[in-house]
Amino acid sequence: MGFVRYILMAMTFLIISGCAALILQPADFSWPIENVLKIDEKGFIKEDRHTFTINVKPIFHEEHRDSNLALGKEIRIIRSQAGYYFITASNFKNIYVLIPIESGMKLVNKINISETQPLLNPAFNQKSPYIELIDGSKKYLLNHKGLVR
């Protein structure tokens, strides 16, 4: 009877532990440097090193009300330690913060940098746990919630 009891307890343990969610922690999703990617004629950018492709025309529509302005332009993109993607471009006034979802990306925050002056030559740096945005002599620290300073 002791052996059967042992088997039943072992099976119960395996069934219960099999139902628990698998969580791998800690994780660092950051990219060490930004990527500067050309937008193709269909409005897509592609990053081969990270196996990354998304259509960014909706961001240009959100920013400029004209998705055709995306064609031939460059997008600045970096991924934070927490896994958020930060996207901007020259002549943008905002930073778009996105998270991956099934078959796409979802906007979680639109960080306004200036109401009047668009970014001229933006660049991102990793300053964990923050993202640094540099535009000329101006520097900003960001997280997915907004401007830190």
Q: Taking a C-beta distance cutoff of 8 angstroms, is the pair 97, 147 a contact?
A: no
pLDDT value at 130 more than 90 = yes
The pLDDT value given to residue 53? 80
Q: In whole angstroms, what is the distance from residue 129 CA to residue 98 CA?
A: 16
The pLDDT value given to residue 30? 77
β partners of residue 36 = 76
The pLDDT value given to residue 78? 95
Q: 53 or 114: whose pLDDT is higher?
A: 114
The pLDDT value given to residue 10? 59
- For residue 78, give every residue at least 6 positions away whose Cβ sits within 8 Å of its Cβ, in sequence order, or none: 31, 33, 34, 35, 85, 86, 124, 125, 126, 131
The pLDDT value given to residue 135? 98
- Token representation of residue 27: 């994780």
- Token representation of residue 9: 């307890």
- Token representation of residue 128: 């964990």
The pLDDT value given to residue 8? 60
Q: Look at residues 113, 132, 146, 147 and name the one whose alpha carbon lies nearest to residue 30.
A: 132
Please state which of the ranges 25-29, 66-70, 81-85, 143-147 shows the lowest mean pLDDT.
Answer: 25-29
The pLDDT value given to residue 13? 55
81-123 tens-digit pLDDT: 999 999 999 999 999 999 988 878 899 999 999 999 999 999 9
Q: Could you tell me what percent of the chain has a pLDDT over 70?
A: 79
Residue 140, amino acid:
Y
The pLDDT value given to residue 21? 60
